[in-house]
Amino acid sequence: MLKSFIVLSLALPLAAAQFCYARVITVMPLGDSITNGYGSTDLGGYRPYLKSQVGANFEFVGRRSAGPIGSDKNEGWDGRTIRRLDSEVVAAAMAAANPDVITLMIGTNDAWKGSAADGDPMSAPQFMIPNLQHLLDDIYTAKPNVKVILSNLPRIYDWNQPPATADYQTVVDFNNQLPALVANQQLAGRSIYLVDSNSRLSINTDFADGLHPDDSGYQGVANAFYSGFVQAGLVPEPGAISLILLGIPLLRRRSRR
């Protein structure tokens, strides 16, 4: 008797889209107050929207809790710069959660506060990329096979410093350097995927204040992170499904002679 396995690809609506996994995949949202959901009505930020997209196969993990149950767990720490998130949060968070996937957005406080961030000269904007590289090194030291979905930064603007629609150049410069950083990480064999939240948010309609998205803005961030799950092969393309059935033995009868 021979055993074989079957793989089916079906075109189905997104609502039916689920990959079949042998176990739940853990997702750790990591970052600052945007990750924790500040500015959203339900305090969940992008997480409830992303959870509704990825479905029951994915469990959000972290030591903090904010927003609706089921997507409340996270590692979003208010006011953290890249260096402080790395030194104060990453090691303990990785040890506690041991995540399969990390959704990472960090750097807004560095870009906003400039050289005054935490009174730490090494958190000045020109050090954002090296600091992010160090943070990623610490993540992959803790778990070499983790998948990191890294988002660029949403816009920052200041109502009190016209024009209010002007982007902070520090955000522009940081975002422009991310593709090269991610490419180098991938060349080193790391599973990291870059997504674009910045272009999905409108300054005029998607922010609760000069820093934090509102509900519609967080939907845009969730959509960006979902595109990273697609890149990583964790979920299907929107509007279609590849239904993978694993471990189902098919019995092939031997012909009688």
Residue 257: inside a domain = no
Residue 39: inside a domain = yes
Write the CATH number for 51: 3.40.50.1110
Residue 66: inside a domain = yes
Tokens describing residue 9:
């690809």
Per-residue pLDDT tens digits for 28-38: 999 999 999 99
Domains in the chain: how many in total? Answer: 1
CA-to-CA distance for 1 and 189, rounded, in angstroms?
40
CA-to-CA distance for 66 and 62, rounded, in angstroms?
11
The domain of 39 spans: 2-246
Residue 256: inside a domain = no
Per-residue pLDDT tens digits for 137-195: 999 999 999 999 999 999 987 655 555 556 788 999 999 999 999 999 999 999 999 99
Residue 160: inside a domain = yes
Residue 107: inside a domain = yes
**Count helices and strands in the chain by DSSP H and E runs:** 8, 9
